[in-house]
Structure 1
Amino acid sequence: MNRRRRVYEGKAKILYEGPEPGTLVQHFKDDTTVLHPKKTEVIDGKGVLNNRISEYIFSQLNRMGIPTHFIRRLNMREQLIKEVEIIPLQVVVRNIAAGSLAKRLGIEEGTVLPRSIIEFYYKNDELDDPMVSEEHITAFGWAAPQEIDDIMALAIRVNDFLSGLFLGVGIQLVDFKIECGRLYEGDLMRIVLADEFSPDSARLWDSQTAEKMDKDRFRRDMGGLIEAYQEVARRLGIMNENEPTRPAGPVLVK
């Protein structure tokens, strides 16, 4: 078996060279990392769940005409994606006060915001992904003004669609992080949704109980992370009650 060329490795995913030009294979790891406080742990089966959930969400977005890098899932941990030039920004959409926003502004967690808020953070692990303004983004050339407009329009469309999708299965979409990239097709370039959408990158609360169903369970030492991710997958209808989150034995990765 030929070894694949590793293009990039992040905290939760590895990108490999794809089978065709302009494609990559995105591999979901079990590594779980948070910055505040800084800690890392390998949680068996998390990558499988995130791959399945992200596949479902991106497939739904594609069907709605929202452009993404997703092509198809390949196996339990991997999916085929289009190669894009990642814009070095994390785009955070907030519907309900939680996490750093609640702490930063002294707002009680769980407060519904008057309107959805979009924030930008510069992707830089060494700097702990600092919050930046549109002025910073244009001044340092991370994105052009028109690209910022396109990113914000994309974020709003994603938020509108997914808020309804999750509400329909009894989950509040509190906030989420997305990344965007430049997809080049011949002489044309367009901004598309990239990276992933999973409980690693979103706050998801049970609509009735406000029970946390996301990475805050790890961040706040609450336990039960895998069970919460499994519940999200079950509510979305993409995982049977007794389906394992990992293979029972060795799996050959092609």
Structure 2
Amino acid sequence: MARRKKVYEGKAKILYEGPEPGTLIQYFKDDEPTAAAASVNVAPISAASEGKGVLNNRLSEFFMTGLNGIGVPTHFIRRLNMREQLVRMAEIIPLEVVVRNFAAGGISHRLGIPEGMALPRPIVEYYFKDEKLGTPMVSEEHIIAFGWANQQDLDDMVALALRVNDFLSGVMLGVGVRLMDFRLEMGRIWEGDFMRLILADEITPDSMRLWDLRQPERADGSVPDPGPLGDVYAELARRIGVLPSNVTHPAKPSLIN
């Protein structure tokens, strides 16, 4: 078998040249993302988790397929096998777009908002993708001034992020999970003479903070407040139906800062 050309390798994924021009093969590894690779994470988790890449491949396929089905453009074409999917090549915008629905992590620390409190509306934040700098939070003024995106790009990114938020929030709520916050990456593709913004990278628990709404009753009959979803990869896969209910998995989530 011919050796494939590696285009990029990160902590959680490898990108190879695709079989056709303008395509890539995205391979999901078992390694956990580090704080350097995804600086909106609270802390690095150093140990690899066996099978996490398989679950993330199936979960990202589920979410990307659902988004494609409602008209949200993504880079996802199809899943190839247990760990790989075929995606469209895009010019990645060097920003992480974070959508927050409830206070948790960094926004609670910065603004003194109690964790778990519903925000008045979904809040969209931008982080500049530079691992050496720790992916710092930036404003629209920074983005436009340094040419990472223009105002039309930003308007389209916000609109796209909020559509993704509506879809993901509904899916999660339907399986007893609260979508606290999540991050996205976006890219540009050219269709003839026109540039189009699409959702890229992945949608997996590596880039989400999820709280469990299905808490067991206490001995006194009361139900505790929601907390982080345990064993998040396998549990989420079971709830949305991409993993049999008798399979267990020990992996823990990485949380958005």
Shared fold (TM-score, shorter chain, > 0.5): yes
Structure 2 counterpart of 1:71, from 74, 77, 90: 77
For the pair 1:49 / 2:55, whether they are aligned, the reply is: yes
DSSP-derived class of the 1:68 partner: coil
DSSP-derived class of the 1:193 partner: strand
Residue 122 of structure 1, CA deviation: 0.2
Which amino acid in structure 2 is aligned with residue 34 of structure 1? T
Structure 2 counterpart of 1:130, from 129, 136, 141: 136
Post-superposition Cα deviations, 1:97-120, rounded to whole Å, max 9, x if no partner, equal 111111111111111111110000
DSSP-derived class of the 2:58 partner: helix
TM-score with structure 1 setting the length: 0.88
Which residue number corresponds to residue 227 of structure 2? 211
Post-superposition Cα deviations, 1:66-91, rounded to whole Å, max 9, x if no partner, equal 00000011111110000000000000
Which amino acid in structure 2 is aligned with residue 21 of structure 1? P
* Contact 1:205/1:211, CA 8 A, preserved across alignment: yes
* Contact 1:137/1:143, CA 8 A, preserved across alignment: yes
Residue 20 of structure 1, CA deviation: 0.4
Which residue number corresponds to residue 234 of structure 1? 238
Distance 2:248 2:233 in 1: 13
Is there any run of 5+ residues in structure 1 with no aligned partner, and where? 214-223, 246-254
Distance 2:46 2:188 in 1: 30
Cα distance change of structure 1 residues 115 and 57 upon mapping to structure 2, 3 Å threshold: same
Cα distance change of structure 1 residues 4 and 212 upon mapping to structure 2, 3 Å threshold: same
Structure 2 counterpart of 1:111, from 101, 113, 117: 117
Which residue number corresponds to residue 11 of structure 2? 11
* Contact 2:180/2:208, CA 8 A, preserved across alignment: yes
The alignment covers a number of residue pairs equal to: 233
* Contact 1:33/1:41, CA 8 A, preserved across alignment: no
CA RMSD, Structure 1 to Structure 2 (Å) = 1.4
Higher mean C-alpha displacement, 233-242 vs 28-37: 28-37
Post-superposition Cα deviations, 1:129-170, rounded to whole Å, max 9, x if no partner, equal 100000000011000110010000000111112111111111
Which residue number corresponds to residue 39 of structure 2? none
Higher mean C-alpha displacement, 27-36 vs 127-136: 27-36
Is there any run of 5+ residues in structure 2 with no aligned partner, and where? 36-41, 216-225, 250-257
Which amino acid in structure 2 is aligned with residue 186 of structure 1? G
Which residue number corresponds to residue 220 of structure 2? none
Distance 2:214 2:4 in 1: 46
Cα distance change of structure 1 residues 146 and 125 upon mapping to structure 2, 3 Å threshold: same
DSSP-derived class of the 2:162 partner: helix
Which residue number corresponds to residue 152 of structure 1? 158
Higher mean C-alpha displacement, 183-192 vs 110-119: 183-192
Distance 1:26 1:105 in 2: 37
Distance 2:247 2:45 in 1: 29
TM-score with structure 2 setting the length: 0.87
